[in-house]
Amino acid sequence: CHPRPKNLNELERMVKKEWEALSLSYYRHLVESEVDHVKE
């Protein structure tokens, strides 16, 4: 499903990009659940 990286640098860049997207969505999820607590 992923294009095969030609070298380590490319692999590192792909992983970093996915990790950033992951932590971003996780952070957003945390913030939203905090907001829900405040609203109640």
Q: What is the mean pLDDT of the chain?
A: 86
User: What one-character DSSP code corresponds to residue 1?
Assistant: -
Token representation of residue 39: 């609203």
- pLDDT tens-place string over residues 27-39: 999 999 888 777 7
3-state helix, strand, coil in the chain (%, to 5): 80, 0, 20
Looking at per-residue pLDDT, the higher value among 7 and 2 belongs to 7
Looking at per-residue pLDDT, the higher value among 25 and 34 belongs to 25
- Is the confidence at residue 40, as pLDDT, over 90? no
Q: What is the mean pLDDT of residues 3-32?
A: 89
